[in-house]
Amino acid sequence: MNNKAYLTNYDINEALDKYIKLLNIKESTEETETKDSLGRISAEGVYAKISNPFYNCSAMDGIAVKAVKTHGANEKNHIILEKGTDYEEVDTGDPIPESFDAVIMVEDIIKESETSVKIHKSAARWENIRSLGEDIVESTLIIGKNHKIRPVDIGAMIAGGISKVHVYKKPLVGIIPTGDEIVELNDNLKIGDIIEFNSKMFAAQVNEWGMESKVYGIAKDKKEDIIAALEKAYKECDVVIINAGSSAGREDYTYDAVSALGKVHIHGIAIKPGKPAILGEINGKPVIGVPGYPVSAYFVMENIVKPVISKYINFFDEKEEIEAVLSRRVMSSLKYLEFIRVKIGLVDEKYIATPLQRGAGTTMSLVNCDGVLEVPQNYEGYEKGETVKLKLLKTQKEIKNTLVLIGSHDPILDTASDMMKNRNFRYTLSSAHVGSMGGITALRNEECHISTMHLLDEETGEYNIPFIKKYIPGKELVLIKFVKRTQGIMVRKDRKFSVSSIEDIKNNNLSFVNRQKGSGTRLLFDYELKKAGINPEEITGYEREELTHLAVAAAVKNGDADCGIGVYSAANIMNLDFIPIGDEHYDLVMPVKYLGLESFLEFLNTIKSDEYKKQLDKMGGYAYDELGKMIYL
């Protein structure tokens, strides 16, 4: 009788750390058609090549008009417009003819003749027009690196002019079922036959993780057969999984087969079920022995195989965690990290967890369970009524590990989002650009973790703090210094006019594109107008609004306006000239209670990194001497 013994009894985290370091897995990338990229993991940030729409177009069926020709029209005063000179017919999506700047929808016109119409309401400039970049602005980050591509991402990338995208190459995972007693499902089963289904479950898991699988034929319990199957599989695949035969019995040959062709690094991990797992390699390729019992096999696949092979695509889709109250006592051995399957119900606004049958061969317990309770090694268990953490296996209702940012826009947020995802693919920065005052509102209503703002108090000359104290009193907040940035006037390099100050916008009757009400940039422009003694009504286009600096820059670049206001980096990205009007403080504000969020700490480490600061220098117009300094309010 062969009395093999397990060589190790590693803690699972120690085992994974050691094994992954020994393998030194390197990702490889490939280019794929954007339309075929669903579920792939992006290998780099994807930025829009073109704006969408990439021209000014009609938002509806009707007539394109010159807004000035419609002024004064109302129910009592109809105005007649002549085709060609006063209007042109347009359908939804049609480009706006040159010299026209508004659209009146077909329901609001009365046909007088084949060449004239009557209108009974006036139109404002740019009314019912989808301006260039209304949806996507050229050079905007569409998706970041290490992002799992969704159907909406494909649409956005194609709309942004991206026909091909770089993704991580999927590793091919070979799966070898072993055993004398196992057979494929057939209509002539006999006593003693065990239907082989683990390999199909493994293949489905691998495919679900975004990788390729290849299932080989059943290898009988003979060492030479398993060695032959393994030799073939490792030459054809990037990773090999051998199912069953990983224990220490007399017909368990996985250890011997891996040792014959390569090396076993770890045999035996302190988990239950799943103790007999084998972690080895052949010529640098991972070879993992997975126990034959289906529940043991599932947990080894999820907790060992998945973290290892996910390194090939630099993406790991973690299970959502929630807290729940145990409905009954759970006892556990002190020797292992134990995985307990549970049913979960929402009762009286509390999650209640009920443990299921534990056996390693009870396949239906996996089908029926909603989550998993992990009982740590050296821990006796949990009492009834105790609150515990669970990993969900079924529905996921919220996005996890996302830092929600609402407030003022700056291109450096896209850079931070991309770089943060690059540094640690588990965390995401989700930013909504609603302006500084919108960020104040979001913080007050507890709709976000963090906000960005650059609000100048005219009376004190101080940035942000006076507004926070006025609009969010009584909350424990912290202001985190971000950057000092330069705001100014953006103009085309090939302009045929001179501009060196805000006064020139008025004096030269230049068309202007503004930021939205409530944005710090809008408030700054209003402040500068007030200092110069200029009424906003004297600025042509003052009422035209865009939501981001890049959108303003794109409008100027396209010739839709002579000039606009924004940060230097936006002008630099769009290759525009820039006339500075002043520096300002662009800061972060958040509740103190969120300072410990892992997603925030990753974001903070990202923006404080030398790599990020180098990118700020490259973009231009930023000073970061105080970046990361915290002021508690």
Residues 107, 160, single domain; the answer is: no
E strands in 185-262: 194-195, 212-215, 239-243
Task: Check which CATH number belongs to the domain holding 214 and give it.
Answer: 3.40.980.10
- Which of 589, 604, 54, 6 has the alpha carbon at shortest distance from 269? 6
Residues 161, 174, single domain; the answer is: no
pLDDT higher than threshold 90 for residue 432: no
**Residue that terminates a domain, selected from 71, 103, 130:** 130
Q: Are 455 and 436 in contact (CB under 8 A)?
A: yes
**Residue that terminates a domain, selected from 260, 279, 312:** 312
Residues 362-381 have a mean pLDDT of 85
Chain segment 464-509, per-residue pLDDT in tens: 999 999 999 989 999 999 999 999 999 999 988 888 999 999 999 9
Tabulate helix, strand, coil % of the chain (nearest 5): 30, 30, 40
Task: Check which CATH number belongs to the domain holding 35 and give it.
Answer: 3.90.105.10
Residues 437-461 have a mean pLDDT of 86
What gap in Å lies between CA 475 and CA 450, rounded to an integer? 14
User: Counting Cβ atoms within 10 Å, is residue 191 exposed (0-12), middle (13-18) or buried (19+)?
Assistant: exposed
Residues 48, 68, single domain; the answer is: no
- The CB density around residue 493, as the number of other CB atoms within 10 Å, is 8
| Sequence-ordered list of residues with C-beta below 8 angstroms from that of 357, at least 6 positions apart, any chain | 341, 365
Quick one: how many helices (H) and strands (E) in the chain?
A: 18, 38
* Phi-psi category of residue 464: left, alpha or beta, with phi > 0 → left and psi -120 to 50 → alpha: left
The owner of tokens 């600061």 is 613
Asked if residue 105 is part of any domain, the answer here is yes
Residues 61-76 have a mean pLDDT of 95
Asked if residue 204 is part of any domain, the answer here is yes
Q: Are 500 and 579 in contact (CB under 8 A)?
A: yes
Task: Check which CATH number belongs to the domain holding 355 and give it.
Answer: 2.40.340.10
Question: What single-letter DSSP state applies at residue 305?
Answer: I
Residues 234, 89, single domain; the answer is: no
Chain segment 264-299, per-residue pLDDT in tens: 999 999 999 898 999 999 999 999 999 999 999 999
**Residue that terminates a domain, selected from 288, 312, 336:** 312
State the pLDDT at residue 250: 56
Chain segment 116-150, per-residue pLDDT in tens: 999 999 999 999 999 999 999 999 999 999 999 99
Residues 304, 325, single domain; the answer is: no
Residue 201 domain boundaries: 12-27+170-312
Q: Is the bond preceding 171 in cis, omega lying within 30 degrees of 0?
A: no
**One-letter amino acid for residue 210 of the chain:** G
What gap in Å lies between CA 19 and CA 330, rounded to an integer? 31
Residues 523, 451, single domain; the answer is: yes
Asked if residue 1 is part of any domain, the answer here is no
Residues 290, 331, single domain; the answer is: no
Q: Which strand (E) or helix (H) includes residue 124?
A: none
In this structure, the dihedral spanned by the alpha carbons of residues 127, 132, 134 and 138, taken in order and rounded to 10 degrees, is -170
Alpha helix ranges (H) inside 160-219 = 198-208
Asked if residue 111 is part of any domain, the answer here is yes
Strand pairing report for 87-90 and 182-183:
unpaired
Residues 306, 384, single domain; the answer is: no
Alpha helix ranges (H) inside 424-487 = 436-444, 465-471
Residues 284, 202, single domain; the answer is: yes
State the pLDDT at residue 5: 47
E strands in 131-190: 141-143, 164-168, 172-177, 182-183
Residues 473, 594, single domain; the answer is: yes
Q: 299-318: b or e for each residue (b if 16 or more CB lie within 10 Å)?
A: bbbbbbbbbbbbbbbbbeee
pLDDT higher than threshold 80 for residue 350: no
**One-letter amino acid for residue 56 of the chain:** N
pLDDT higher than threshold 80 for residue 211: yes
State the pLDDT at residue 446: 76
Asked if residue 5 is part of any domain, the answer here is no
* Phi-psi category of residue 17: left, alpha or beta, with phi > 0 → left and psi -120 to 50 → alpha: alpha
The Cα angle at residue 488 between residues 482 and 492, in degrees rounded to 5: 125
Chain segment 549-585, per-residue pLDDT in tens: 899 999 999 999 999 999 999 999 999 999 999 889 9
Enumerate the β-bridge partners of residue 31.
Answer: 166
State the pLDDT at residue 247: 66
The answer to which of 394-398, 414-418, 524-528 has the lowest mean pLDDT is 394-398
Strand pairing report for 477-491 and 563-567:
antiparallel
Residues 484, 555, single domain; the answer is: yes
- What's the structural domain count of the chain? 5
Using DSSP's 3-state secondary structure scheme, residue 321 falls into strand
Mean pLDDT of the chain: 90
Residues 74, 108, single domain; the answer is: yes
Rg (CA), the chain: 32
Q: Is the dihedral of CA 295, 297, 301, 305 positive or negative?
A: positive
State the pLDDT at residue 536: 94
Identify the residue with better confidence: 102 or 6.
102
Instruction: Label each residue of 332-387 as H, E or C.
Output: CCCCCEEEEEEEEEEECCEEEEEECCCCCCCHHHHHHCCEEEEECCCCCEECCCCE
Give the model's confidence band at 405: pLDDT under 50 very low, under 70 low, under 90 confident, else very high.
confident
Q: 483-492: b or e for each residue (b if 16 or more CB lie within 10 Å)?
A: bbbbbbbbbb
What gap in Å lies between CA 253 and CA 228, rounded to an integer? 12
Chain segment 23-62, per-residue pLDDT in tens: 989 899 999 999 999 999 999 999 999 999 999 999 999 9
Chain segment 217-249, per-residue pLDDT in tens: 999 989 999 999 999 999 999 999 999 876 655
Asked if residue 588 is part of any domain, the answer here is yes
Asked if residue 64 is part of any domain, the answer here is yes
State the pLDDT at residue 1: 38
Asked if residue 155 is part of any domain, the answer here is yes
Q: Is the dihedral of CA 525, 526, 528, 529 positive or negative?
A: positive
* Phi-psi category of residue 518: left, alpha or beta, with phi > 0 → left and psi -120 to 50 → alpha: left
State the pLDDT at residue 75: 92
Task: Check which CATH number belongs to the domain holding 109 and give it.
Answer: 2.170.190.11
Give the model's confidence band at 394: pLDDT under 50 very low, under 70 low, under 90 confident, else very high.
confident
Task: Check which CATH number belongs to the domain holding 600 and give it.
Answer: 3.40.190.290
**One-letter amino acid for residue 510 of the chain:** L
